[in-house]
């Protein structure tokens, strides 16, 4: 018997009589996927746009494994004013060319330079956290997020914005507010037409924040381009007769973009560069910050797991306060399983959408070309047939022997297939580095029950009420 479940937003979830909020929308998705867990898919309407919801590995594989279904959904168009059509939002030949061009910037040697930044900013974060030791509970979410923003600004643009020391800067506040405005617009069909949006207060605010973001990026790019021009001129004047003095200058993502060329030897335009820098800024800090926060929350609720993490850190570092190296990261295998399990329970990107460019068949159902398909990662990772007791936090699920035979599309925190996250190695490095720095020094206690988190599935999966923890200073490493 063919399945055709057509659902519309349910007002009973909504406290606001005007519209249903992003919190309500995510609650609905959770409710429906639990209610229809045995169904391969269902249809949900957002205003005039129907979405086909996928949350089973076999269904998800059909879309993510395809080189044809790579176009992002209509809902991503609301990112275009900020990000243009960069790597996240582009499709077709432009996406393929851009992906090929940018991939080398995530080479191991370059990531090693980025690790230096992560250590520097991570140490600033740890010193900030010191003032909370043996004190009242506090919300750590923004502390982690500002650290991640400093890391991404320096690695993406070579610009230290000092977000950890100046959280009230215009650029910092614009980054966060823009994400909120985009999410609300996606879920509010009456805000979709551009000519109407600008008439609303939110539309005018969107324009102001956009100017702040683009002016900042424009200024940094112009300065970097001038530096590059000056460096080339100096080399030309010296005729290569003398070597550069001093230590090797650390390169940022922007430096590499200014030198990147496509297959025809053509350089990126100024607008192209801004698209990719803004995309890296948007994708590269909120996601990692959320992941780190969720790990701290889960470790604070699972002391036995936290003890195992501390034991591994003690074995690797002893009493040494040195920076985290690539070799250290390779050896922190249990911490890696902890991060993976946290991303299973709380994937940084809880859902993502595609538009089908040709008809396809999913579990015996014909889905027509042009359909918007939403992969609900949050529900996919909670399939009880693949992850028994799915709400339990068990890092052992990701031990190599326990991963054997698991469906390759049952766990996709960084998406999968041709459009998987190009920055996932960068993200994993940052998450493990900051966690190692924090947990070498502190014992974490969580102060919230799961129902107190106010889980909010925005562009990023956040706790609506923050992550409240207590910190205790650990005794000397190895003395537990």
10-residue stretch averages of pLDDT, the chain, 480 residues long: 42 39 74 87 83 93 91 89 91 87 77 90 96 96 93 89 82 84 88 95 96 92 84 63 52 85 80 90 88 98 98 93 94 98 96 91 90 94 96 97 96 93 92 98 96 85 92 69
Under the phi-then-psi rule, with left for phi > 0, alpha for psi from -120 to 50, and beta for the rest, what region is 471?
beta
Among 473, 444, 451, residue whose Cα is nearest residue 138 = 444
pLDDT at 229 (0 to 100): 79
Q: Which residues pair with 139 in a beta bridge?
A: 468
Domain boundaries, the chain: 1-69+350-412
CATH architecture of 1-69+350-412: 2-Layer Sandwich (3.30)
C-alpha 453 chain-centroid distance = 19
pLDDT at 476 (0 to 100): 64
Residue reference for tokens 């995510």: 26
Q: How many CB atoms are located within 10 Å of the residue 112 CB?
A: 12
Residue reference for tokens 């582009």: 90
pLDDT at 23 (0 to 100): 57
Residues 122-146 as b/e (b if ≥16 CB within 10 A, e otherwise) read beebbeebeebeeeeebebbbbbbb
3-state secondary structure the chain: CCCCCEECCCHHHCCCCCCCCHHHHHHHHHHHHHHCCCCCEEEEEECCEEEEEECCHHHHHHHHCCCCCCCECHHHHHHHHHHCCCCCCCCHHHHHHHHHHHHHHHCHHHHHHHHHHHHHHHHHHHHHHHCCECCCCEECHHHHHHHHHHHHHHHHHCCCCCCCCCCCCHHHHHHHHHHHHHHHHHCCHHHCCHHHHCCCHHHHHHHHHHHHHHHHHHHHHHHHHHHHHHHHHHHHHHCCCCCCCCCCCCCCHHHHHHHCECCCCCECCHHHHHHHHHHHHHHHHHHHHHHHHHHHHHHHHCHHHHHHHHHHHHHHHCCCCCCCCHHHHHHCHHHHHHHHHHHHHCCCCCCEEEECCCCEEECCEEECCCCEEEECHHHHCCCCCCCCCCCCCCHHHHCHHHHCCCCCCCCCECECHHHCCCCHHHHHHHHHHHHHHHHHHEEEEECCCHHHCCEEECCCEEECCCCEEEEEECCCCCCC
365-367 and 360-362 as β-strands: parallel, antiparallel, unpaired?
A: antiparallel
pLDDT at 4 (0 to 100): 46
Q: How many CB atoms are located within 10 Å of the residue 11 CB?
A: 10
């Amino acid at each position: 018997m063919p399945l055709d479940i057509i659902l519309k937003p349910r007002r009973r979830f909504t406290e606001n009589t005007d519209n249903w909020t992003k919190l309500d929308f995510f609650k609905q998705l959770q409710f429906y996927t639990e209610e229809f867990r045995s169904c391969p898919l269902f249809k949900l309407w957002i205003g005039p746009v129907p979405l086909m919801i996928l949350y089973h590995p076999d269904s998800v594989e059909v879309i993510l494994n395809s080189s044809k279904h790579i176009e992002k959904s209509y809902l991503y168009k609301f990112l275009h004013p900020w990000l243009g059509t960069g790597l996240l939002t582009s499709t077709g030949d432009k996406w393929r060319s851009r992906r090929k061009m940018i991939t080398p910037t995530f080479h191991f040697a370059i990531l090693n330079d980025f690790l230096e930044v992560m250590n520097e900013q991570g140490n600033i974060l740890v010193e900030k956290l010191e003032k909370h030791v043996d004190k009242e509970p506090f919300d750590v979410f923004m502390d982690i997020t500002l650290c991640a923003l400093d890391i991404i600004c320096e690695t993406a643009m070579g610009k230290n914005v000092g977000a950890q020391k100046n959280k009230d800067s215009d650029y910092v506040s614009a980054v966060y507010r823009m994400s909120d405005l985009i999410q609300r617009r996606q879920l509010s069909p009456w805000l979709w037409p551009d000519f109407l949006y600008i008439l609303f207060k939110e539309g005018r605010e969107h324009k102001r924040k956009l100017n702040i973001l683009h002016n900042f990026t424009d200024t940094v790019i112009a300065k970097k381009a001038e530096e590059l021009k000056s460096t080339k001129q100096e080399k030309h004047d010296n005729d290569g007769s003398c070597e550069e003095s001093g230590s090797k200058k650390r390169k940022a993502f922007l430096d590499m973009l200014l030198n990147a060329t496509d297959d025809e030897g053509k350089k990126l335009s100024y607008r192209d560069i801004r698209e990719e820098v803004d995309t890296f800024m948007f994708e590269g800090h909120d996601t990692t910050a959320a992941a780190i926060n969720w790990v701290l929350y889960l470790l604070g609720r699972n002391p036995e797991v936290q003890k195992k993490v501390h034991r591994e850190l003690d074995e690797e570092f002893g009493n040494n306060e040195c920076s985290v190296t690539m070799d250290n990261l390779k050896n922190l295998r249990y911490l890696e399983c902890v991060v993976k399990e946290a991303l299973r329970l709380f994937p940084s990107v809880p859902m993502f959408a595609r538009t089908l460019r040709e008809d396809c068949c999913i579990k015996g159902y014909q889905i027509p070309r042009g359909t918007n398909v939403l992969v609900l990662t949050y529900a996919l990772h909670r399939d009880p047939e693949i992850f028994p007791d799915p709400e339990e936090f068990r890092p052992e699920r990701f031990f190599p022997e326990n991963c054997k035979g698991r469906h390759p599309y049952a766990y996709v925190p960084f998406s999968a297939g041709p459009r998987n996250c190009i920055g996932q190695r960068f993200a994993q490095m940052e998450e493990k580095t900051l966690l190692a720095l924090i947990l070498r020094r502190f014992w974490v206690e969580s102060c919230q029950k799961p129902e107190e988190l106010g889980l909010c599935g925005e562009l990023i999966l956040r706790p609506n009420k923050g992550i409240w923890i207590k910190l205790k200073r650990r005794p000397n490493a190895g003395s537990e």
